[in-house]
Structure 1
Amino acid sequence: MVIINPSNATQPAAFNRPAGPAPVLPTDRVLNAVVMGQRAEHLYELASGNLRLMAESQTALRRGEQLLLQVTGKDAQQRPTLQVINTSAGAISPLLKAMLPQQQGINQLLANITPLLNKANDSTLNKLSSALVNALPSRQQLSDPAGLRAAILSSGFFMEAQLAAGIAPANDLKSALLRLAQQLENLRQSNAASTQTDPSKASKLSQDYSGLARTAGAKAEMPPSTNSLPNLSQPPTAAKDGLNPVSTNYGKPAPSSDLPGVLRSQPRIAAELPEQKLSQEAVIKQLLQDSRGAIARLESHQLLHLQQKDPLQSQYLIEIPVRNDDGIDVWQMQLQWQRTSEDQEHPTDNASDEDQYQRRWQINLNFDLPGLGPINTKVIQQGKQLAITFNTETQATRALIEQRQHELNQRLEEQGIIDTEIVTHTGIGPAASSPLSSHSLLDDQA
């Protein structure tokens, strides 16, 4: 049971309160919750990721309503108290800045999970790792328009929006990350209980690794069908408590630690877990940190989207881990659309607003594939016109793209896109940033 917008006038609905302990929600954490329904007067059921809550609220809530909630403390009965957060840009910006020390790219988690997949000496961690990896889309799936659309909708970016619409997203990345973090936390607490860990130390550790309880997200509108798209195939330091100091690489920051909204190809990186055998406790702590860092980065992109208010344009920043034959690569996508007025020499009186406007799509794709290196691709589509620009780090990769360019043209024609311009360049400039991130993260006064 949690309390929303508590006040002195709150009347506890004791006879309706479910049995069982209150959830552990650290103060200042943020949750993006969906109202699943009303169970009694002032009593509601909420869903936040994989977490189900009964909430007592003097404020009337509607089924399907999306709430951005911040944990403010506990009441006299030790029930978590939550405050509804205004979703204006001014309210979201501090939340984004607060996430910066926690967020990190998902490639570090994938690097540390990969060595565990085939280890028979720890079947528990093996099963947890396999569950996450099996939820990831394959490269073959993303080569098909329908598969690409499904992968985007299951990227975690739209999880809350789908829950609010009554849709249970299949193989959703954010859901898989939340589930992994929860299972790791349960395993950590179980191990701590079995070894009779000092209670004060356990409490501190819970605060250090409390990213999951936040389960914050942002409601993002789901994009229209992508069938017309071309078929283009500093993280937080490791916790100091209980680490095995057998390797200087353990807890070392990832080589690339970009801010949310920064567009830079994400390469595969080496695992931070050393080759020497670590205790299960140390491995769990590292994976817990990595999974919560990946959740924080995903939620940062959701919050960046949430503060967009211009009805004539919108953008989505999405990172999708993709299973390949020899490993997992991170595909980074920035989907941006803008409604533009068509030039009409003879407009008619009965032309509707929709007839006078059309969407202009710009899609930035970033990859760093083994053997090819970083590739930045910009796709601009308006109507049946398409312009594609490839920027590669090496001349050999550029030559390979030019050699296979006719296949891309053929596949685009099969999709009904004939007016196509394809340009290739060698050299990738500095990482681009979303205008949203610069506005939200960098407008501080000295």
Structure 2
Amino acid sequence: MNINKPNTTHFSTFEPGQAKALAQASYKIGQVLNATVLTNSHQGRVAIRIGNMQLSASTNIALQQNTPLELKVAQLQPRLQLQILHPGGGNPLPEAMLKMLPQQTSLAPLLAELAFQAQAKQPATVPAPLQAALKKLIAALPTRQNIRQADGLQRAVAQSGLFLEAKLAAAAGGQHPQLATDLKSLLLRYLGTLRQSRFEPAATRPATRPSAQAPTLASGPVSAEVPPPLRGRLPQPQPQASPVAPAATGAIETHHPALLKQLEGALARIGLHQVATAENFNEGQNLWQLEIPVRQGNAVEIVALTIERETARNSADTEDEDAWSVNLSLDLPNLGSLQSRISMDKQGLSTTFWTRSRNNLSLIEKRLPELRRNLELHGLEINQCKCIDGQQPTAPAAKADGSLIDYLI
């Protein structure tokens, strides 16, 4: 069933004979009903109970088993349509998303400016705790060299900020997760330190000359340039960011309000990835959405990716089979935007690149045989390795044999 309105659930009968029972229920438009969720929603479907009737519903929000619902009758014909008024227990994800959407900004411009500030000589008016928090933040950013290695890429994913709350829960349970280099944790610490910092008023400081060593911080968010990372959306290329034109020394204190806003926007973007990932798992989909900021000198690049695990359930006497897919998106100065989808299961690995540049298409096609050889040297069976002129389709193509997983770069 199609869902046309947010927070609206369309019901069809769950058991034989329930259509007649619904017809006899004599519901009225605007009537409020109490219901209980019988199963976790999965792929847009959920089972609920209203009175002594069990119904199957199609819905566009995640619902948990045993959740009580208040439902208003919105439509009777041609099919009963009910609107969720108050999900019992509350689902905080939509509310959190609505709060973060207008705040979210790209991490790249902010981190590029801060990377420069971390190396530039700061005036004595910048508090030492703020300088220390800044240096820890920038030192934790992975480099291109780091993510070229499997263990480095694994660390970058783990420290992307996506898993901070899970780490905190693990720490509360007596485990010892790596928190000191988690990106979200470091951004929160820097933001908190900045809010507590007290700068000497400009009127009491001696005038300073413009310095080529101090870039100015961007004055506002760039969310209009970077689409928000919503559930079901493929990662989009983001251009490399570098420090902007030089300004007066003491840029951190001079642009204090703008810096606060950008930090809040960066944290909101990480939060949107967390919301999208949580919604995926609530719907029974093992799909992580995240971004990795990569430092290249004073510039910062964004590696945007999704990682999905699909499990094929086999018979009791055979093991279940896992298949993995990764979508990756980059925008590099010498290549421009590049997307890739890599799929891997027991039958082998398939890789597809997309580029909108004919020059890049030719360059990548020339290097594909080398990529294939290197992958085969690592013991991988290669099913497909190709590059396509254009942009990756919005919806991943269906797997031809039902077994391949896609990976996007």
Q: Scaled by the length of structure 2, what TM-score is found?
A: 0.62
* 8 Å Cα contact 1:362-1:378 kept in structure 2: yes
* Cα distance change on mapping 1:420 and 1:367 into 2, 3 Å: same
Deviation of the 1:318 alpha carbon = 0.9
Q: Scaled by the length of structure 1, what TM-score is found?
A: 0.57
- Please provide the CA RMSD for this pair: 3.2
* Cα distance change on mapping 1:100 and 1:164 into 2, 3 Å: same
Amino acid at match of 1:174: K
Aligned match of 1:256: 225
Alignment of 1:233-252 (within 5 A): 250-251=219-220
Amino acid at match of 1:292: E
* 8 Å Cα contact 1:313-1:339 kept in structure 2: no
Alignment of 1:177 with 2:187, yes or no, is yes
Bigger Rg, which one: 2
Aligned match of 2:100: 99
Aligned match of 1:214: none
Aligned match of 2:143: 138
Aligned match of 2:259: 287
Cα distance in structure 2, aligned partners of 1:376 and 1:400: 15
Deviation of the 1:273 alpha carbon = 7.2
Aligned match of 1:306: 278
The aligned length equals 286
Deviation of the 1:126 alpha carbon = 5.6
* 8 Å Cα contact 2:115-2:298 kept in structure 1: no
Aligned match of 2:369: 406
Cα distance in structure 2, aligned partners of 1:363 and 1:399: 24
Alignment of 1:98-247 (within 5 A): 98-122=99-123, 124=126, 127-165=132-170, 166-169=175-178, 170-187=180-197, 190-191=198-199, 195=201
Cα distance in structure 2, aligned partners of 1:427 and 1:297: 27
Cα distance in structure 2, aligned partners of 1:139 and 1:338: 29
Aligned match of 2:381: 418
Cα distance in structure 2, aligned partners of 1:99 and 1:335: 23
Alignment of 1:332 with 2:309, yes or no, is no
Q: Secondary structure at the match of 1:308?
A: helix
Deviation of the 1:137 alpha carbon = 1.1
Cα distance in structure 2, aligned partners of 1:390 and 1:405: 10
Percent identity reads: 28
Deviation of the 1:142 alpha carbon = 1.1
Deviation of the 1:128 alpha carbon = 4.4
Deviation of the 1:284 alpha carbon = 2.2
Aligned match of 2:357: 394
Cα distance in structure 2, aligned partners of 1:249 and 1:302: 26
Cα distance in structure 1, aligned partners of 2:256 and 2:361: 42
Is there any run of 5+ residues in structure 1 with no aligned partner, and where?
1-84, 197-246, 434-446
Deviation of the 1:385 alpha carbon = 1.3
Cα distance in structure 1, aligned partners of 2:304 and 2:347: 24
Cα distance in structure 2, aligned partners of 1:264 and 1:419: 26
Cα distance in structure 1, aligned partners of 2:89 and 2:145: 38
* 8 Å Cα contact 1:409-1:420 kept in structure 2: no
Alignment of 1:380 with 2:343, yes or no, is yes
Cα distance in structure 1, aligned partners of 2:150 and 2:347: 17
* 8 Å Cα contact 1:249-1:273 kept in structure 2: no
